[in-house]
Amino acid sequence: MRDYGRDVLAGDWRRPLRGKIPQVPAEPGLVVEDAGGGFCGAVVACDKEAVTLEDRFGRRRLFPLAPAAFLLEGKPVTLVRPAPSAPSGPARSASGSIAVAGLRARVAKESRIYVEGLHDASLVEKIWGHDLRVEGVVVEYLEGVDDLPAIVEEFGPGPGRRLGVLVDHLVAGSKESRIAAEVTSPHVLVVGHPFVDVWQAVKPSAVGIPAWPQVPRGVPWKEGVIAALGWRGEPADAWRRILGSVRGYADLEPELLGRVEELIDFVTAEDAS
């Protein structure tokens, strides 16, 4: 009997043998293949439940951290969340600025930043929220800029009470550019980005799509995007998906990054206090 080794039926034979599939930390840059679908890409993000892979075309996909769900050099592996490493430098906020430890939000200044809609406000908060709390600047949304001159007048800008306004689709000849031109106060700065909607300010690669689709005239833009991409649900559902894909300033287009930074600088300038 010793020639045949141990009794293969001994113990609980119904329980699969463990330890056969190696566990590999999902470090950024690690290239693996989805064992089920064949998607191959490098790790760009990982949390306790899922890992995001980016292929050579810039497309991103999210996968659960399931046992033996990936192939590394053709062999099955189980990806696990990497152990946290000690920081090698100062912590950074989502905007890339140095994070202030133990931050207590400052009393809000009289100066404000206005954005067009709720989606704009939530994106600004996600990336620049830390910076704004450090500076004591409040962001509010307008639900459109058609009444911008009246809104500015009601705000009452002046020394120590500056107003910065971020406008969607601020391009030459647009309705938005004509409205912005009516605001002439030196204590108000109106800037904008060229995108039809702030959704487009998120890089397609961050969302996992090749590009933002072209929506025909006469079709509501958000609904047209959802239909073209084959997504389900309402615009609010789509926005949660888009916002959830944004992890930092690198996931946003430069045309938005520069304008928001410009507004923050304007409303926090020395002569604004």
- Could you tell me the domains of the chain? 19-80 (2.30.30), 112-272 (no CATH)
Contact call for residues 206 and 245 (beta carbons, < 8 A):
yes
pLDDT above 50 (res 13)? no
pLDDT above 70 (res 100)? no
**H and E: helices and strands count for the chain:** 7, 11
3-state helix, strand, coil in the chain (%, to 5): 30, 20, 50
Percent of the chain with pLDDT over 70: 83
Phi, psi of 128 (to 5 degrees): -110, 10
pLDDT above 60 (res 110)? yes
Question: Residue 155: which pLDDT band, with cuts at 50, 70 and 90?
Answer: very high
pLDDT value for 246: 92
pLDDT above 50 (res 222)? yes
Question: Residue 213: which pLDDT band, with cuts at 50, 70 and 90?
Answer: very high
Q: What pTM, to 2 d.p., does this model score?
A: 0.63
Contact call for residues 248 and 241 (beta carbons, < 8 A):
no
- pLDDT tens-digit profile of 25-61? 999 888 999 988 889 988 988 888 889 998 887 788 8
